[in-house]
Amino acid sequence: MRFAAIDTGTNSTRLLITEITSAIKEEFASADIIREMHITRLGKNLDKTGMIDKNNADKTVSVLKKYLDLISYYKVRRYRAVGTRALRHAANAAWFKGYVMDLLGLELEIISHVEEAMLSFTGAAGSVEPGFLLKKNNILIPGNASGSLPYFHNTYPGDKEKIVTGNGKVCSKNTGREILVLDIGGGSTEFILGSLSQGITFTESINMGSVNISEKFISDFLPSPGELSKMGEFIRGEIEGSMQVIRKKQFKKVIGLAGTVSALASVDMNLKKYDMKRLNGHKLDFKNIMAIQERFCSLALEDRKKITGLEPERADIIIGGTAILIEIMKGLKLQQITVSENDILDGIIYSIF
């Protein structure tokens, strides 16, 4: 049985198609068939204009069309398509949703920052241990920003429906581990704290990500020391409230998600092409992140694009995203984080199943 998840984010639009390889009683395991990412910049200049740009909307729609074709080709039984921060904040989000529906017949579900965090945590928790299984009736699905239920698309005509799953907990093996998940996206940064046995205990979203922080503080593609200093000061002010809460908590593992973290890991490992298996579980040391950031900041944009492991399309926002991670690690006195390539897409798959 094949399921799919689409994540329409501020910086990128992504797809996961997976197959359930085993389902025994209330537990299941899955294997990826395809995992794709295209940088579409739906939230470009959103903080300045408050609007989704028509050109970027068309770029996103083009990618969504490709994903729907893949969903059809791979005979996916059910899928779920969500939108996050850019669509939560854009004044013309309703227009974009209607535009997608008119052109593609796709119902795009705008989820709250709470559900985004919870789905990300669920996905990341799946990579904590080999063979990790989530109980399908214990997955956290609180509903979307409008208060309606998650919208799951069946691929059979006339079989669209809204379905409730879950009882408000993320559950698995009782390992007793507390996990802090950091999800640095294009337009927001999520902090999610919880355990595999007790579920989520704290979640907060900061309206600051790699795209909008870079647009706000880096006027040239080679940032000045003054710009970097002001950016760091601003980030510290934005995250301090969350830092105060998290510092009082106890956690044994810190997992980093999303494009900035993946890019840093890829550069750290000098990967010439994306390799999920190698990236997943990679340990990123703070001193290495600082050295990589220094390298980013010393190069003009065109030279930064040539760095092995860094996607050229991410070169203009990687400094901002890395600055956010650095300030979080400083604030929590972290020397290392674990990279997870399992994220909100995996959480969406779990929610469907």
Check whether 235 has a pLDDT greater than 80: yes
Q: What is the pLDDT of residue 175?
A: 42
Rounded mean pLDDT, 217-237: 86
User: In the prediction, which pLDDT does 58 show?
Assistant: 95
Taking residues 309-328, report their average pLDDT. Answer: 91
The pLDDT of 282-291, averaged and rounded, is 94
Residues 57, 139, single domain; the answer is yes
Residue 64 has pLDDT above 70, yes or no: yes
pLDDT of 65:
96
The verdict on 79 and 165 lying in the same domain is yes
pLDDT value, residue 288:
95
Predicted pLDDT at 248: 83
User: What average pLDDT does this structure show over 89-103?
Assistant: 93
* 135 plus 23 within the same structural domain: yes
Q: What is the pLDDT of residue 11?
A: 84
Whether the pTM exceeds 0.75: the reply is no
- AA identity, residue 82: V
Residues 188 and 305 in one domain: yes
pLDDT at position 161 is 30
Task: State mean pLDDT over 161-187.
Answer: 53
Whether residue 67 is contained in a domain is answered as yes
Distances in Å between the Cα of 47 and the Cα atoms of 39, 86, 185, 193 are 18, 9, 15, 28
Answer yes or no: do 27 and 151 share one domain: yes
Confidence of residue 287 (pLDDT cuts 50, 70, 90): very high
Residue 12 sits in the same domain as residue 37:
yes
73 or 24, which is more confident? 73
Give yes or no for residue 147 having a pLDDT over 50: no
Q: Has residue 351 been placed in a domain?
A: no
Instruction: Please say which residue of 112, 139, 169 terminates a domain.
Output: 169
Residue where a domain terminates, one of 169, 194, 222: 169
- Return the CATH number at 214: 3.30.420.150
Would 345 be classed as within a structural domain?
no
Instruction: Give yes or no: residues 13 and 148 share one domain.
Output: yes
Burial 99-118, CB ≥16 within 10 A → b, else e: bbeeeeebebbbbbbbbbbb
In the chain, the DSSP E strands lie at: 2-8, 12-24, 27-39, 78-83, 109-110, 151-154, 161-162, 178-184, 189-195, 199-206, 253-257, 283-285, 336-339
What is the structure's pLDDT at 252? Answer: 78
Q: Is 100 within the bounds of a domain?
A: yes
**For residue 171, pLDDT beyond 50:** no
Query: Do both 130 and 190 map to the same domain?
Result: no
Look at residue 273 and tell me if it is in a domain.
yes
Domain presence at residue 344: no
Q: Are residues 91 and 21 in the same domain?
A: yes
Same domain, 112 and 248: no
Closest CA to 134 of 163, 164, 169: 169
**Of the candidates 169, 170, 151, the residue with the CA atom closest to the CA atom of residue 160:** 151
pLDDT at residue number 164: 27
Query: Is the residue at 228 inside a domain?
Result: yes
Do residues 163 and 187 share a domain? no
Write out the H or E segment, with its range, that includes residue 120: helix 113-125
For the residues 261-274, what does the mean pLDDT come to?
90
pLDDT band at residue 170 using 50, 70 and 90 as cut-offs: very low
Q: Does pLDDT of 140 surpass 80?
A: no
pLDDT band at 196 (very low <50, low <70, confident <90, very high): low
What's residue 277's pLDDT?
81
**Is a pLDDT exceeding 90 seen at residue 82?**
yes
Q: What is the pLDDT of residue 13?
A: 93
318, 297 Cβ separation under 8 angstroms: no
pLDDT for residue 21: 73
Give dist(CA 67, CA 17) in Å, integer.
Answer: 10
Cα angle, residue 204 at apex, residues 291 and 333 outer, rounded to 5°: 35
Token pair of 320 as six digits: 């901002």
Q: Which of 135, 169, 203 is the last residue of a domain?
A: 169
Query: What's the CATH code of the domain at 85?
Result: 3.30.420.40
Scan for tokens 């028509």, then name that residue: 54
| Sign of the dihedral defined by the CA atoms of residues 101, 104, 105, 111, in that order | negative
Give the closest residue to 162 by CA, choosing from 171, 153, 175, 173: 153
Q: Within a domain: residue 352? A: no
Which pLDDT does position 276 carry in this prediction? 80
| pLDDT on residue 346 | 87
pLDDT over 70 at 113, yes or no: yes
Decide which of 346 and 252 is more confident. 346
Q: State which residues form the domain around 45.
A: 2-169
Is residue 127 very low, low, confident or very high in pLDDT (cuts 50, 70, 90)?
Answer: low
Q: What pLDDT does residue 266 have?
A: 93
pLDDT in tens, 35-46: 998 989 888 888
Residues 113 and 218 in one domain: no
What's the average model confidence in pLDDT over 141-162?
40
How many structural domains is the chain composed of? Answer: 2
Q: What's the pLDDT score for residue 159?
A: 34
